[in-house]
Amino acid sequence: MTQQVKISFYEALKDFITADESALPGEKANDYHRVICHQLKQQRSVKDLVESLGVPHTEVDVIVVNDKSVDFDYLVNRGDEIEVYPVHSNCLNNNHAGQSFLHCVPDDPDDYRFILDVHLGRLASYLRMLGFDVLYKNQCDDEELAETSSQQNRILLTCDRLLLMRKIVKYGYFVRTRNIDEQLPEVVKRYRLQQKLRPFTRCMSCNGITHAVDKTAIEHLLEPGTGKYYDEFYQCDSCQKVYWRGNHFNRMQSIIDRIRNQRT
């Protein structure tokens, strides 16, 4: 005998539900949530159920079952009405004003260190430009990404939802947009990073720390024109790459200004 439960995915979480799943009997949708009816063939935890529908646990902050906040270990029963909310939900307090909640997503790490999958190289460079500690390799398998994220308490940014479903991943976010120019604002908004920026303190190539350096110490590394027209330089402690305030600096500064001024 099957058991039917109703699950409502709110705000950004509804985007994880595929077309086939959204066509299930009883489905309703609006701008804020998607409701599906699911036939429960065996008892399972709410975490297992939510992830079986395509929503990584790292994206789920609060789960309300029959008007009561529960954690991931809750065992789903026939007739349950389940509400699943993302981090920073606007709907949660509107729907359950005055109620206290169990939060499934742990508090963000204090230092906001990241590790990115192989598809997010440009985003890695941009986050380093803002001053964040970002690990990135253009060849790195899922197991290494998950283990490093877990061992070093790094936030895993990825375009692979299955990677975020690995049990050991504690901190993670699924980058929605594939538009490179929109990925940085998206991540900054998700983690509310605007007040934590330290631009140009890390090497965009290797993640090392940069420091001001006297022109005479690195002049032999410069093209003749660069040494002639610029006097202020910075160098990476790790890879020795040299930076200066050329036209590329102006482009990067405009990106930083847009990030600082974007709406949260």
- Residue-level pLDDT at 26: 46
Please determine, looking at this structure, whether the domain spanning 3-95 carries the CATH number 1.10.10.10: no
* Tokens standing for residue 54: 């395509």
Q: Find the distance separating the first CA and the last CA of the chain, reported in whole Å.
A: 47
**Nearest residue to 98 via CA among 127, 69, 65, 119:** 69
Dihedral of CA atoms 59, 121, 255, 90 in degrees, nearest 10, equals -10
- Residue-level pLDDT at 30: 61
Classify residue 236 as exposed, middle or buried by CB count within 10 Å of its CB (0-12, 13-18, 19+): buried
* Tokens standing for residue 146: 């998950």
Task: Answer whether 120's CB lies under 8 Å from 183's CB.
Answer: yes
- Residue-level pLDDT at 123: 97
E strands, 178-259, are 210-213, 233-236, 242-244
Quick: pLDDT tens for 199-215: 999 999 999 999 999 99
Q: Residue 1: pLDDT band by 50, 70, 90 thresholds?
A: low
Quick: pLDDT tens for 78-128: 999 999 999 999 999 999 998 999 999 999 888 999 999 999 999 999 999
- Residue-level pLDDT at 33: 86
Question: What is the SS3 assignment for 210?
Answer: strand
Kindly state the DSSP code that residue 219 receives in the 8-state scheme.
G
List the Cα angle 120/121/123 in 5-degree steps: 65
* Spatial distance between the Cα atoms of 49 and 244, rounded to a whole number of angstroms: 52
Mean pLDDT of the chain: 91
Quick: pLDDT tens for 23-54: 444 444 566 789 999 998 888 999 999 999 99
Q: Residue 246: pLDDT band by 50, 70, 90 thresholds?
A: confident
pTM for this prediction: 0.91
Q: At what angle do helices 180-191 and 247-261 cross, to 10 degrees?
A: 40
**Nearest residue to 256 via CA among 126, 103, 90:** 126
Quick: pLDDT tens for 164-194: 999 999 999 999 999 999 999 999 999 999 9
The domain segmentation of the chain, as residue ranges, is 3-95, 114-206+250-261
